[in-house]
Each structure stands twice: as structure tokens, then as C-alpha cells.
């Protein structure tokens, strides 16, 4: 082993040691609080957040749901128009290209908005492009066929959640300009809402030509570098559930712990016991039974 190879090996070992330390620190600490190293565990916070955590919060927590939907509805209050020409000049009239593109996108904005919403919940989302090119989805798009059909080649756009699509193969050729790019995706057709029910769903491979990825915060262009909108405030979402749930549970327990009866000084307990068919010594239990 020459000096260059030894340096590479040392660098690899150092990187591995750092990864191990980060893993152990996250496993036992989960926080930078050195005094209380199990703070996350004590509070019930998950050490690693997954798509299931984000989707559950969006589906079941009103605050998380409102945060995502208000953001999406505000951004998509109006659907945009696309114009051809110089960016520094305002378009004064639509060209034929403008008319065709805007007519095409008019039926796609709802799906694009849906993909944007899914991207805010998870780390990334995707739009699947279904086109009429007589090829299976694991093959590249036939650009000759679609070019002849123009905008009629697009059948529809399909917005999908992070849990429905994931990369399965990458370009591993380090001499390629596309090194590290995804070369094939795996798509689960069954909706996320139905996956928990164990319903069967087809899993098919999809070529990158047919996929548009949305990954907010992914500056390096990689899917898993995306950031969920709910990640930073996830602990606060859990805190709100603890407060509201704890308050409701506490109210229920306090309300059901004991019963108090108020009687006037003129109350005839003998007559009341006789009406309930019990002796005066059993009157308390009989009243409890009537109320409960």
C-alpha cells in the first residue's frame, strides 16, 4: 500500500469513526443536553423522524394539518400563466406556444398543487408523467412518438407521496456526468392511506424520464436531503397532543372519581330510601347506581 492509498484509508476510517460516534450519540442522547442525556426518551420524542411520523401528524393533528394546508393554499391561491420570451420584458400578448402550454397546464395545476402539498409533509414527493408512447413505465419515454403528438401525448400527472416512490438503482459510473443520479424508481400504486390496512398493491419500476421529483430544501439535488415542513416543529406538535389529551383525560378522571349530592334540610331520607327500595344504610350506593 503506497502513501496515497494509506491516506485514503485513514480518511475512510476517520469518517467511519465519526459516523459511529454520531450514531451512538443519537442512540443514547438524542439531544445536546449533556446533563440529561436521555431527555428525548423521557419526553417520549422519537430520535429519528420518518415519513410515517410526518404523515400521522398531518392526518391526525389539526395544527400540523392547518400549517401545511394554509401554506399550500396561500401559494396556490391563483394558478400561474406561462409566457414565452425575455424574462426582463412583460408579455403583451400570447403566442401560439403560450396558448398551447397554458391549455395543457390548465388541467395539470391541481395535480402539481397536490404534489407540492405532499412535498411539505414528507422529505420529497413526485409527479409521475403518464404519456401515450406505447411503452412500459420502466422504459425511457419515446420522444419521437411524443413529439409527433405534442401536448396530446400527455395523459395525466399523478402526484405521489414519499412512501409510494423510492429510488432502487443509481448511476455508479464515476466517469459519467450523471454519476449518482437515479436510474430507476420503484412505485407502489396503493395510496398511503390504505397501506396500513394491508391491501395488496402493485409495485412497478418507473424510468426517471417519467418522474418529476419535488424535494424542498434539497440543495444538493438528492431526494433524501429534502426537509419536511413539520420536522422543526414536530416536538411542539407532540406537546400540543400531550396537553390536549392530558387535559381531557384529567377532566374525565376527576369527573368520574366521586359524586356529590346536595339535599335540603327538609329532605326525607326514609321516604327516598323507600322509593329506591333499599334501607337507609344502602341509600348512598343506590343513588350512585341511579346516576351512573
* CA proximity to 254, closest of 244, 246, 262: 246
Q: Are residues 149 and 236 in the same domain?
A: yes
**Looking at the domain assignment, is residue 159 inside a domain?**
yes
* Ramachandran sector of residue 37 (left: φ over 0; alpha: ψ -120 to 50; beta: rest): alpha
Q: Are residues 35 and 69 in the same domain?
A: no
Spell out, as residue ranges, where the chain has pLDDT lower than 50: none
Q: Specify the pLDDT at position 80.
A: 86
Range of the domain at 42: 20-47
pLDDT digits (tens, 9 = 90+) for 235-260: 888 888 778 776 666 666 666 556 67
Q: Are residues 80 and 32 in the same domain?
A: no
Q: Specify the pLDDT at position 33.
A: 59
Could you tell me how far CA 47 lies from the centroid of its own chain? 17
**Looking at the domain assignment, is residue 220 inside a domain?**
yes
Q: Specify the pLDDT at position 234.
A: 85
Q: Are residues 104 and 196 in the same domain?
A: yes
Number of domains in the chain: 2
Q: Are residues 64 and 109 in the same domain?
A: yes
**Looking at the domain assignment, is residue 248 inside a domain?**
no
Q: Are residues 159 and 232 in the same domain?
A: yes
Of the residues 196, 223, 241, which one is the last residue of a structural domain? 241
Q: Specify the pLDDT at position 110.
A: 93
Q: Are residues 141 and 169 in the same domain?
A: yes
Q: Specify the pLDDT at position 164.
A: 93
- C-alpha span between 128 and 101 (Å, rounded): 18
Q: Which residues contact 157 (CB under 8 A, 6 or more apart)?
A: 108, 111, 112, 115, 127, 128, 129, 130
DSSP strand pairing (211-214 vs 125-131)? antiparallel
Q: Specify the pLDDT at position 150.
A: 87
Q: Specify the pLDDT at position 8.
A: 60
**Looking at the domain assignment, is residue 252 inside a domain?**
no
pLDDT digits (tens, 9 = 90+) for 2-58: 666 665 666 666 666 666 656 555 555 555 656 566 666 677 778 888 999 999 999
How far lies 179's CA from each of 35, 128, 171, 224, in Å? 44, 23, 5, 17
Q: Specify the pLDDT at position 68.
A: 94
Q: Specify the pLDDT at position 125.
A: 95
What is the dihedral sign for C-alpha 189, 190, 196, 197?
negative
**Looking at the domain assignment, is residue 247 inside a domain?**
no
**Looking at the domain assignment, is residue 105 inside a domain?**
yes
Q: Are residues 124 and 39 in the same domain?
A: no
Q: What is the pTM of this model?
A: 0.69
**Looking at the domain assignment, is residue 144 inside a domain?**
yes
What is the dihedral sign for C-alpha 238, 243, 248, 251?
positive
Q: Are residues 182 and 212 in the same domain?
A: yes
**Looking at the domain assignment, is residue 13 inside a domain?**
no
Q: Specify the pLDDT at position 165.
A: 93
Residues in the chain: 292
Q: Are residues 54 and 142 in the same domain?
A: yes
Amino acid at each position: 500500500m503506497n502513501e496515497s492509498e494509506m491516506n485514503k484509508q485513514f480518511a475512510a476510517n476517520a469518517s467511519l469513526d465519526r459516523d459511529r460516534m454520531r450514531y451512538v450519540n443519537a442512540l443514547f442522547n438524542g439531544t445536546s443536553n449533556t446533563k440529561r442525556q436521555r431527555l428525548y426518551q423521557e419526553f417520549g420524542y422519537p430520535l429519528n423522524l420518518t415519513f410515517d411520523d410526518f404523515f400521522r401528524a398531518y392526518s391526525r393533528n389539526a395544527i400540523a394539518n392547518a400549517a401545511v394546508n394554509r401554506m399550500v393554499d396561500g401559494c396556490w391561491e391563483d394558478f400561474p400563466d406561462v409566457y414565452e420570451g425575455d424574462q426582463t420584458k412583460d408579455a403583451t400578448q400570447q403566442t401560439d406556444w403560450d396558448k398551447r402550454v397554458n391549455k395543457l397546464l390548465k388541467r395539470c395545476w391541481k395535480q402539481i398543487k397536490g404534489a407540492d402539498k405532499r412535498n411539505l409533509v414528507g422529505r420529497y414527493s413526485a409527479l409521475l408523467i403518464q404519456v401515450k408512447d406505447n411503452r412500459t413505465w420502466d422504459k425511457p419515454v419515446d420522444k419521437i412518438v411524443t413529439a409527433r403528438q405534442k401536448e396530446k401525448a400527455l395523459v395525466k400527472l399523478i402526484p405521489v407521496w414519499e412512501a409510494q416512490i423510492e429510488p432502487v438503482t443509481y448511476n455508479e459510473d464515476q466517469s459519467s456526468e450523471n454519476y449518482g443520479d437515479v436510474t430507476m424508481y420503484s412505485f407502489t400504486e396503493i395510496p398511503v392511506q390504505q397501506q396500513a390496512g394491508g391491501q395488496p398493491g402493485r409495485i412497478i419500476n418507473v424510468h426517471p424520464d417519467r418522474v418529476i421529483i419535488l424535494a424542498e430544501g434539497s440543495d444538493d439535488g438528492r431526494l433524501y436531503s429534502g426537509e419536511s415542513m413539520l420536522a422543526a416543529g414536530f416536538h411542539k406538535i407532540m406537546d400540543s397532543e400531550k396537553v390536549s389529551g392530558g387535559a381531557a383525560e384529567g377532566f374525565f378522571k376527576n369527573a368520574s372519581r366521586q359524586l356529590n349530592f346536595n339535599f335540603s334540610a327538609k329532605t326525607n331520607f326514609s321516604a327516598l330510601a323507600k322509593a329506591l327500595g333499599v334501607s337507609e344504610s344502602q341509600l348512598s350506593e343506590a343513588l350512585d347506581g341511579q346516576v351512573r
